[in-house]
């Protein structure tokens, strides 16, 4: 399946998870919701992949643990940011992470021009607002942390994806590590979920839709494309949101939003997605 189509599927599940999360923000703190996503996703992935049956090298295990902590901090920081900033502003600032990755790891002018065009498209689609509110400093610091973690997520995630144990198996270890490291800081707010079965079911749905499915699909993509190409592909997420909004909610894009869609599409074509890399295969053992 082509990488752009995998990203569309990833975006669809993420937006479904976001729609479920909206209903519990008033009951559970945003940062705790982010941690619950990671913790429940870790349980699902561990039961699915059973990583204890795989043989991890020390380097692979160390990379997976660091990747999981980065993934966890990225999610928590983004949830805190959108609690203090307009969503469009937060999304646009966070996209500076993939922009930096493409600028530093891109090969030639196509990658760099492509990510610049994609960044402009994301800004137009997200709808940046200057009305940030009185506590904008907290949001700006949080989204800066999220952008930095997003850049690290791309680079570390590619290493996990191309490990001999398999990307999704490595992801299960990463999720578990992130959940354990962040638990002392955020688990205390999960009380309402433990007391309400309906709320607990919602959290499971959020975790599966917003973490298990999209991050597993991204592991497949990271195994097949370069980091710079993956960074450009990330621009498809807000573009997919605009298309889904038009089809499902009759929120037809117009004006600058249409320009943003065209810019994102052009950036993806410009970076040459047909140059996907074959996955690395483990060398056969010596006879």
For every residue of 209-229, DSSP letters joined together read IIIIHHHHHHHHHHHHS-HHH
pLDDT tens track for 220-250: 999 888 888 888 888 777 776 666 666 655 6
pTM, whole model, 2 decimals? Answer: 0.82
Chain centre to alpha carbon of residue 238: 12
Tokens encoding 178: 């992130």
What is the rounded CA–CA span in Å between residue 31 and residue 226?
31
Q: Classify each residue of 148-187 as buried b or exposed e, where b means 16 or more C-beta atoms within 10 Å of its C-beta.
A: bbbbbbbbbbbbbbbbebbbbbbbbbbbbbbbbebeeebe
Rounded-to-integer distance, Cα 130 and Cα 47, Å: 45
Is pLDDT above 90 for 136?
no
Q: What sign does the CA torsion over 37, 43, 45, 51 have?
A: positive
pLDDT of residue 242: 66
Evaluate whether 10 touches 217 at the Cβ level (below 8 Å): yes
What is the structure's pLDDT at 271? 66
Q: Which residue has the higher pLDDT, 226 or 22?
A: 226
What Å distances lie between residue 21 and 17, 34, 73, 99, 199, CA to CA?
A: 6, 10, 18, 28, 10
> Of the candidates 140, 9, 145, 22, which has an alpha carbon nearest to the alpha carbon of residue 75?
145
User: Would the pLDDT of 156 be above 70?
Assistant: yes
* Of 123, 130, 82, 151, nearest in space to 239 by CA: 123
pLDDT, one tens digit per residue, over 174-209 is 999 999 999 999 999 888 998 999 999 999 999 999
| Residue whose C-alpha is closest to residue 13's, from 236, 240, 205, 209 | 209
Q: Contact at 8 Å (CB) between 46 and 178?
A: no
Tens-digit pLDDT profile for residues 82-126 = 888 877 778 778 888 888 888 888 777 777 788 888 888 888 876
Exposed/middle/buried for residue 200 (C-beta within 10 Å: 0-12, 13-18, 19+): middle
**CA angle, 96 then 83 then 18, to 5°:** 80
Name the band, by pLDDT with cuts 50, 70 and 90, for residue 139.
Answer: confident
């Amino acid at each position: 399946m082509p990488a752009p189509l995998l990203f569309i599927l990833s975006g669809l599940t993420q937006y479904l998870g976001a729609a479920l999360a909206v209903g519990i923000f008033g009951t559970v703190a945003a940062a705790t919701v982010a941690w619950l996503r990671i913790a429940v996703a870790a349980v699902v992935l561990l039961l699915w992949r059973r990583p204890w049956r795989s043989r991890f090298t020390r380097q692979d295990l160390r990379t997976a643990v660091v990747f999981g902590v980065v993934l966890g901090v990225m999610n928590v920081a983004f949830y805190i940011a959108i609690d203090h900033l307009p969503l469009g502003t937060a999304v646009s600032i966070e996209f500076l992470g993939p922009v930096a990755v493409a600028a530093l790891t891109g090969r030639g002018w196509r990658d760099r021009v492509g990510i610049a065009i994609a960044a402009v498209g994301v800004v137009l689609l997200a709808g940046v607002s200057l009305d940030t509110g009185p506590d904008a400093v907290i949001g700006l610091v949080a989204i800066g942390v999220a952008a930095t973690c997003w850049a690290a997520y791309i680079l570390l995630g590619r290493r996990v994806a191309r490990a001999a144990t398999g990307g999704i198996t490595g992801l299960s270890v990463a999720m578990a590590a992130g959940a354990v490291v962040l638990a002392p800081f955020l688990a205390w707010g999960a009380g309402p979920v433990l007391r309400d079965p309906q709320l607990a079911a919602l959290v499971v749905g959020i975790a599966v839709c917003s973490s298990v499915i999209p991050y597993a699909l991204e592991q497949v993509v990271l195994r097949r494309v370069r980091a710079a190409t993956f960074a450009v592909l990330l621009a498809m997420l807000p573009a997919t949101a605009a298309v889904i909004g038009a089809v499902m909610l009759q929120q037809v894009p117009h004006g600058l939003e249409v320009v943003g869609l065209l810019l994102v599409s052009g950036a993806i074509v410009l970076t040459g997605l047909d140059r996907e890399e074959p996955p690395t295969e483990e060398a056969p053992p010596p006879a």
